[in-house]
Amino acid sequence: MIWLFTLSSVLVVSFISLIGIFTVSFGIDRLRKMILYMVSFAVGGLFGDAFLHLLPEAFEKLGINVWTSLGVLAGVILFFILEKFLRWQHCHVPTSEDHQHPFVTLNLVGGTVHNLIDGMIIAASYMVSVPVGLATSLAVVFHEIPQEIGHFGILIHGGFSVRKAMLFNFFSALASCLGAFIILVIGPHCAKFSLYLLPMTAGGFLYIAGSDLIPELHQHNSKASASLGQLTCILLGILVMMSLKFIE
């Protein structure tokens, strides 16, 4: 059952990489407005999963101690390293003068590593419990939608055709299946392995939402109505995560 839930979730996450094709018909201004609301929803989903699912589960299973807290900090540091040294950037605007052609390769490498970790995180969460796995999968999906739109835009800007950009983005996304497979295979042999990933996942989600996504929202001078809409989307993301608590 865990294999079925996990592989289904990572396949959904992988196919989200194809969402970029739907952005071709949108103008840049309209797409930017749409993405900002998606990013806002992702912020709520990531925060909600971290605070309502991952951290409570980690403290319950591993104990309220300094080591569990260090696991959260380790997740923050790990995602900082990925972003800093692999130059994995959460760009949510399809085209930008800052994205030069050499960055395409770095973007693909960083995206592949990120997707590999996503698959590991999803599998580890399902090994703890189905509700935790489902919540984590949704949090990843919320985050992947605006991210994959950005990745697709970077590849197009780097000179790829639409078809080539779709294929490369999809192949990169399939790394999540490999990550999930690795955890599913070694998990039964390491009883607490998946539990140790919980605080690290929470730390990673907090880093993504706090250091990447929220600053992205602040970069754009929004009208009061737009800011209210973003806040509403954040709260909706949290509400979705809260609603999943009722199925536990």
Question: Helix 224-243 to helix 28-49 angle, to the nearest 10 degrees?
Answer: 40
Q: Considering only 15-24, 122-131, 137-146, which range has the smallest mean pLDDT?
A: 15-24
Residue 229 buriedness (CB in 10 A; 0-12 / 13-18 / 19+): middle
The whole-chain average pLDDT of the chain stands at: 80
In contact, 147 and 22? CB cutoff 8 Å: no
Which residue did the predictor score with more confidence, 27 or 226?
Answer: 226
pLDDT at 150: 64
**Amino acid identity of 220?**
H
Greatest Cα pair distance in the chain = 53
Q: How confident is the model over 152-170, as a mean pLDDT?
A: 77
pLDDT in tens, 178-216: 989 988 888 766 656 777 888 988 998 899 888 878 887
Return d(Cα 214, Cα 82) in angstroms, integer. 18
Return d(Cα 87, Cα 209) in angstroms, integer. 17
pLDDT in tens, 96-131: 444 444 456 666 776 787 788 889 889 988 988 888
Question: Helix 130-157 to helix 162-173 angle, to the nearest 10 degrees?
Answer: 150
pLDDT of residue 74 exceeding 90: yes
Backbone angles phi, psi at 176, to 5 degrees: -65, -35
pLDDT at 66: 93
The DSSP symbol for 100 reads -
Return d(Cα 231, Cα 81) in angstroms, integer. 29
pLDDT at 158: 67
| Domain map (residue ranges) of the chain | 2-17+27-242
